Structure 1
Amino acid sequence: MPRFSRIQKLGAIAGCLFLVACGDRDTEENSGAEVVPISLQPDWYAQPEQGGFYFALAEGLYDRADLRVTILDTAPNLPFLQKVAKGEATVGITRLDLLAAAVEKGLPLVVIGKYSEHAPSGIMVPAGSDIHDFADLDGKRVMATIYAPYVNYLQSHFGIKMRLIPHNWGMAQFVSGELDAQQCYITSEPYHVKRQGMETRTLIVADAGYDPPHVLYTSRETLEANKDALLRFFEASMAGWKGYLEADPSSTHELIAKRNPKMDPDFMDWSRSVLIEEGVISGRRPEIRETWGKVSREEVSELIEQLLEVGELSDLSPDELDWVDFDFSWEEVDA
């Protein structure tokens, strides 16, 4: 079938980009094809955690799939879920738990695939801290996004009560010693704190059993009208992630830095290395790599049950998953 031949082509392109630098972007096979515009709404500023999408954009993988992709701007507190639901963006990216909550509230959104196998969420503590496990956070001063589902999960699962300080997106209080711990992405804050002379350790939330992947989603209306284009977008994006993790990321990092000048080369290289070493995107275990990108009914149901148990959800059924399209998958092909 034509779609599978395109997957193989995209996978091979992503696997060999570091050798050929994509100097010759021959698109003869797509000449005359209708180019479909797709807008991608991120949930945060441009950064290495979005590297696969920027790789696909920088190296022409979307072009080869007959797509004209635009990555939209974002900002804290931007209602990105609502933008996708209203059709103001074609596709969005977010955590699966946040999307589940939006679906329960009635937003007509559908998961079309996942691009990260693990959540990079963590709790950062000073290297010399007496906090060595999540249970040790009981009674501690922790800066976190108080409404984040994982906060409720940790307190319920470990039977603890943290002294929560609302997150202000800064690290000054943590560095000055006013806090015992602070939420982080393992791919970000530990680097910046170290640059300020402070060594840290990180408790990874996924190790506590709460591990919602980052997913791609769209509106029901968009899915019904443009499923073939969305399939091509997903395939090209996953090929982009393969390329970003395995090939030369230079052009990707240049593009990210243009979109977000706060991103410097040293940080982006470090962040990418953590994504690779921790298996955030493609999984920590070899068997996960075999289903990379494919959403399973089991993982969605398990997450819904966790959220129901801690009161983050009240009505969403773990058995009725019509808000997940399980048709989206891709074949990883080596060059």
Structure 2
Amino acid sequence: MKRRFITKFGVLLSILFLIILTACGSTESSSSNSEGNGTDESKELSKAKLVTNWFAQPEHGGNYAALQQGFYEEEGLDMTVEPGGPKVSATQIVASGEAQFGYTQAEDLLIARDKGIPLVAIGAIFQKSPQVLITHEGTVTDFEDLNGKTVYTAPGSGYWEYIKSAYNLTEVKEMSYTGSLATFIEDENAVTQGYVTSEPYSLDEQGVKNDYLFIHDSGFETYGNIIFTTDKVIKENPELVQAFMNATIKGWNYYREKWDEVNPYIQESNPELTLEKMEYGAKTEEELIFGGDAQEHGFGYMLEERWSMLQDKLLKLEIIKNKEDITNAFTVEFLEN
């Protein structure tokens, strides 16, 4: 009886020992698999901020897609996207170090560099700028017809200075653009700047028939909504820049195909936008973003020739004073991975 008890006790000890071994092996296997998948939940994310050039909208769709889908986190970033607006200067915020990345226009970046602000373009969202001059239907057919009109533009806009000079617009009444369409709607003789992805739709909704001229077609072939950072960030933390661009490119390619999934997320940051208007924006902007050189080279690509042409125009207009090596103003190195 005593021997039988000892035998049973030994069997139980053996079973218990096997259970412990199995558990340990399972834990080690789980740990090994975690390492093999490259996941490290204990790794701290690097904080980064992007300041856009306007309130949240489809023109920023790729960045919001990257946030929603977790692409920034996958690249090790704790990312914040801060909307811009009429009183927000992304160039000043990034230059001060309060944010690492921003949106602006290519000509504005060159103007900033001419003032000693070392900004660098790292990608162009729009190969063809969506910026347009909007007119009442049938009142304008070409840029020469803008003479005698009241034109609402952002003060000091490089494209507007070029158009005035190139088309001899000496009889225009210049007014500051505020983002409101009310004064344009009330005045049949008015012209307002805007984005083809937004304002024409808003005017159509209000029953205001309109036409528009692409700024690009005037000869001022700037890149629209360029993504920029500073020389300092590139030199001191190129890994951060690369991670940001990896996620941003992935986000834009995602938004291109699945904008309908992302637009409700964008709407949370800008409730005034309707899903119908965002659908219009997403469809209208696709060719402007993924056409041109991006069709061959991928999202964000920029040509040295176009930057040089833009610099020459700004120099001729005396908007900038110094001719620098244009390759200092932009880089495509973070688009290649």
> Where on the TM-score scale, by shorter chain, does this alignment land: which range?
0.7 to 0.9
> Is 2:296 aligned against 1:290?
yes
CA RMSD of aligned residues (A): 1.9
Amino acid at match of 2:89: P
Equivalent positions of 1:252-331 (< 5 A) are 252-276=262-286, 279-283=287-291, 285=292, 288-292=294-298, 293-317=300-324, 319-330=325-336
Question: Which residue in 1 is equivalent to 2:8?
Answer: none
**Which residue in the other structure is 1:50 paired with?**
60
Once residues 43 and 216 of structure 1 are traced to their aligned partners in structure 2, the CA distance between those partners, rounded to angstroms, is 10
CA distance in 2: counterparts of 1:119 and 1:320, whole angstroms? 20
Name the counterpart of 1:82: 92
Distance 2:294 2:99 in 1: 30
Q: Greater share of helix residues, 1 or 2?
A: 2
Q: Contact 1:238–1:330 (CA<8 Å) still a contact in 2?
A: no
Equivalent position to 2:157, from 148, 152, 161: 148
Give the TM-score normalised by the residue count of structure 2: 0.83
Q: Name structure 1 gaps, 5 residues minimum.
A: 1-26
Q: CA deviation at 1:178?
A: 4.7
CA distance in 2, matches of 1:172, 1:329: 40
Q: Is the 8 A contact 1:139 1:163 kept in 2?
A: yes
Residue correspondences, number: 298
1:263 CA displacement: 1.2
Other-structure match for 2:203: 193
Report the Cα distance in structure 1 between the residues aligned to 2:249 and 2:188, rounded to whole angstroms. Answer: 41
Counterpart CA distance in 1 for 2:266 and 2:66 is 12
- What is the SS of the residue equivalent to 1:99? helix
SS at match of 1:281: helix
Structure 1 residues 204 and 323, CA gap change in structure 2 (3 angstroms): closer
Equivalent residue in structure 2 for 1:65, among 75, 91, 99: 75
Indicate if the aligned counterparts of 1:58 and 1:251 stay in contact, CA closer than 8 A.
no
Q: Which amino acid aligns with 2:331?
A: D
Match of 1:240 among 245, 251, 268: 251
Determine which structure has greater relative contact order: mean sequence separation of CA pairs < 8 Å that are 6+ residues apart, divided by chain length: 1
- Secondary structure of 1:223's partner? helix
Counterparts of 2:39 and 2:312, CA distance in 1:
45
Identical counterparts, % of pairs: 28
| Partner in structure 2 of residue 220 of structure 1 | 231
Asked if the contact 2:77–2:244 (Cα under 8 Å) also holds between the matched residues in 1, the reply is yes
* Residue pair 1:103, 1:109 contacting (<8 A) in 2 also: yes
Partner of 1:112: 122
- Displacement, 1:252? 1.7
Quick one: distance in 2 between partners of 1:273 and 1:222?
Answer: 34
Aligned with 1:134 (options 136, 143, 156): 143
- What pairs with 1:176-191 in structure 2 (closer than 5 Å)? 176-191=186-201
Question: Could you say what secondary structure the match of 2:60 adopts?
Answer: helix
CA distance in 1, matches of 2:86, 2:175: 18
The TM-score, its normalising length taken from structure 1, stands at: 0.83
Larger radius of gyration: 2
